[in-house]
């Protein structure tokens, strides 16, 4: 960009990223370049995935080409964000290095993405240290990540000590199909859901194992499991596991023929 124009990279083409890119374009003179970076060319309205799962929506009803949702003057680049170097103001996207004057991070999750340098606030103690945000699976101790088939076998074993299985996702998903015997808590991504989870955990005996699950969307994109796990680990020193749902509950539990209950109980 010539002259005094700056380049701003907005990482993440979700609702937050689209709003940020459009608002920056509206506020800034045309000499400044706004680039929206997203993994896919299509925007999917994530809250409606629940309705898609139960057949109340079609894929084309909840998705739009990303370029149709941004203002004129916002460039769209597609590719996986692989690395952020905040000190150098560089982002590795699909093997390409993009340079910027400013970087706006609006990614749904950072997963195992290496983040170097200052992102947000930082203290002098870590000013020269590279930092990374680990994947949720990497933060779990051995045995905490539970496979669907293993949980189904445990629940079917009448002689085994049964865990408290807590669904920390959305009500519509629980009603349409949930793990038998599991309790609906509410989305842990919301303050009221997190508060409900903490109340439930305080009532469960410490010797009883806890299994958390959601199943609303792919593991890496789930907004509920991470906050639920952190809250549970704060209240309990152990005996907390997370059900690994790679894609969604329909794909990883229901379609495998594992037991399902419907309704509020």
Is the CB of residue 100 less than 8 Å from the CB of residue 91?
yes
Among 168, 161, 158, which Cα is nearest to 229's? 168
Architecture of the domain spanning 137-256: 3-Layer(aba) Sandwich (3.40)
Q: Which residue has the tokens 């929206």?
A: 36
Q: Record the pTM.
A: 0.53
Q: Quick one: angle between helices 225-235 and 191-203, nearest 10?
A: 40
Q: Do the first three CATH levels of 7-133 and 137-256 match, i.e. the same topology?
A: no
Q: Which two tokens stand for residue 17?
A: 């990223």
Q: What is the pLDDT along the chain (265 residues), one digit of tens a residue?
A: 446 899 999 998 988 899 999 999 999 999 999 999 998 899 887 667 656 655 677 888 888 999 999 999 999 999 988 888 888 999 999 889 999 999 999 875 544 445 454 444 333 333 333 333 234 544 555 457 888 998 999 899 888 889 999 999 999 889 989 999 999 999 999 999 999 999 999 999 988 889 999 988 887 788 888 899 889 988 886 788 899 898 889 889 999 999 999 988 7
Architecture of the domain spanning 7-133: 3-Layer(bba) Sandwich (3.50)
């Amino acid at each position: 960009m010539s002259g005094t124009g700056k380049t701003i990279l907005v990482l993440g083409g979700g609702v937050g990223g689209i709003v940020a890119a459009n608002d920056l374009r509206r506020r800034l003179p045309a000499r400044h370049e706004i680039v929206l970076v997203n993994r896919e060319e299509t925007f999917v309205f994530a809250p409606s995935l629940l309705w898609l799962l139960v057949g109340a929506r079609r894929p084309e009803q909840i998705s739009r080409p990303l370029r149709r949702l941004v203002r004129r003057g916002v460039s769209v680049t597609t590719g996986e964000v692989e690395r952020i170097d905040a000190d150098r103001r560089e982002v590795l996207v699909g093997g390409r290095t993009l340079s910027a004057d400013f970087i706006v991070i609006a990614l749904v999750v950072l997963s195992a993405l290496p983040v170097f340098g200052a992102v947000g606030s930082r203290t002098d103690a870590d000013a020269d240290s590279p930092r990374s945000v680990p994947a949720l699976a990497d933060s779990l101790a051995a045995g905490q990540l539970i496979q669907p088939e293993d949980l189904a076998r445990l629940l079917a074993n009448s002689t085994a000590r049964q865990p408290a299985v807590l669904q920390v996702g959305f009500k519509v998903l629980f009603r349409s199909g949930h793990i038998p015997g599991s309790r609906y808590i509410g989305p842990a991504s919301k303050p009221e859901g997190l508060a409900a989870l903490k109340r439930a955990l305080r009532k469960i005996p410490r010797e009883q194992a806890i299994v958390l699950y959601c199943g609303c969307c792919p593991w890496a994109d789930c907004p509920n499991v991470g906050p639920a796990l952190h809250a549970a680990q704060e209240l309990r020193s152990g005996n907390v596991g997370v059900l690994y749902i790679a894609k969604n509950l329909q794909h990883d539990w229901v379609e495998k023929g594992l037991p399902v209950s419907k309704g509020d109980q």
